[in-house]
Structure 1
Amino acid sequence: MRIITVILIVFLVLLQYRLWFGKNSVPDYFALKENVALQLTQNEKLQQRNKLIYADIHDLKNGLQAVEERARNELGMIKENETFFRVIPNDE
């Protein structure tokens, strides 16, 4: 009976060691849980960015206002019979 008790205690110690310090242990679980939470947050931000990009693409494909806005802001284009004034502030 004493041998069985010793064997069971040794077995329990080995299992506890593996639970706390081995591969896939409790600290590993908590680290992975934190990494998953960070990844979910990052994925959510990227999904929001993708929605904005898809909306921008849709506007560029279907509407002329978005194309006109881009042409004015990025390329400096103006409409026919339109005058562009650039106001330069004084250095004073």
Structure 2
Amino acid sequence: MVTRIVPLVLLLLLVAIHAQLWAGRGSVGNVQDLRQQIAAQQAANAQARLANERLAAEVNDLKGGLEMVEEKARGELGMVKQGEIYVQVVRPAQR
């Protein structure tokens, strides 16, 4: 009787380990999903890194001279120096 119990217990352990491999945490499907999530996060990190580098370059330009500040003020705020005349050109809509 004991000789039949040991192989049965070993077989049950093997089945449990095999079920964990295919359906549980750390399963083949779960690992594939995690790899896809990692790839998506790495892509998002790369985009954020580029945006941060652009912003850092802009900050350095703003700290470095008044030309960048003047360009920003003229482009975004419509700044005009004393003695200048502001002319707005409206283009017709393209068809």
Q: Hey, what does 1:32 align to over in structure 2?
A: 34
Pair 1:20 & 2:42 matched? no
- Counterparts of 2:11 and 2:5 in 1: how far apart (Å)? 10
* Percent of paired sites with the same residue: 36
Q: Which amino acid aligns with 1:8?
A: L
- CA RMSD in angstroms comes to 1.9
Q: Hey, what does 1:43 align to over in structure 2?
A: 45
Q: Which ranges in structure 1 are unaligned for 5 or more consecutive residues?
A: none
Instruction: Give the TM-score of the pair, scaled to structure 2.
Output: 0.81
1:56 corresponds, among 44, 58, 72, to 58
Instruction: Give the TM-score of the pair, scaled to structure 1.
Output: 0.83
Structure 1 residue runs of 4 or more that deviate by more than 4 Å after TM superposition: none
Gap change, CA 1:89 and 1:45, over 3 Å in 2: closer
Gap change, CA 1:22 and 1:65, over 3 Å in 2: same
Q: Which ranges in structure 2 are unaligned for 5 or more consecutive residues?
A: none
Gap change, CA 1:89 and 1:46, over 3 Å in 2: closer
